[in-house]
């Protein structure tokens, strides 16, 4: 049986919180344990980012740019 602690998942509390915020499909899991489980079972294989800072994909950057008009300078 797989355990999903900080140590076994390789995901800190801050990373788990960021992961939940970053991915809408993980948000429904709502907690660190769910984030760690998703990361171990799917996220790593899918190339998802668990880092707290940075890691904005091109699609995320374009979405941000489109949402915030003042970034188009």
Residue identified by tokens 């390789």 is 10
- Residue 5 pLDDT: 85
Whether residue 10 is contained in a domain is answered as yes
**Residue 2 confidence (pLDDT) above 80:** no
Distance CA 30, CA 21 (A): 9
**Does the structure show a pLDDT above 90 at 63?**
no
Most distant CA atoms of the chain, gap in Å: 52
Domain region containing 13:
6-71
Single out the residue of 4, 11, 31 nearest to residue 20, CA to CA: 31
Tell me if 57 is assigned to some domain. Answer: yes
**Residue 56: inside a domain, yes or no?**
yes
- Evaluate whether residue 48 is within a structural domain: yes
Q: How many domains does the chain have?
A: 1
| Residue 31 in domain | yes
Residue 53 pLDDT: 73
**How do residues 8-62 score in pLDDT, each as one tens digit?**
888 999 899 988 888 888 888 878 999 999 999 999 999 998 888 765 666 666 6
1 belongs to a structural domain: no
Residue 66 has pLDDT above 90, yes or no: no
């Amino acid at each position: 049986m797989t355990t999903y602690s900080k140590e076994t998942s390789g995901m800190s509390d801050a990373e788990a919180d960021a992961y939940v915020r970053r991915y809408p499909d993980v948000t429904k899991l709502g907690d660190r344990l769910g984030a760690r489980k998703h990361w171990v079972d799917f996220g790593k294989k899918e190339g998802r980012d668990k880092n707290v800072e940075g890691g904005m994909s091109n699609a995320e950057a374009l979405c941000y740019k489109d949402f915030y008009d003042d970034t188009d300078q």
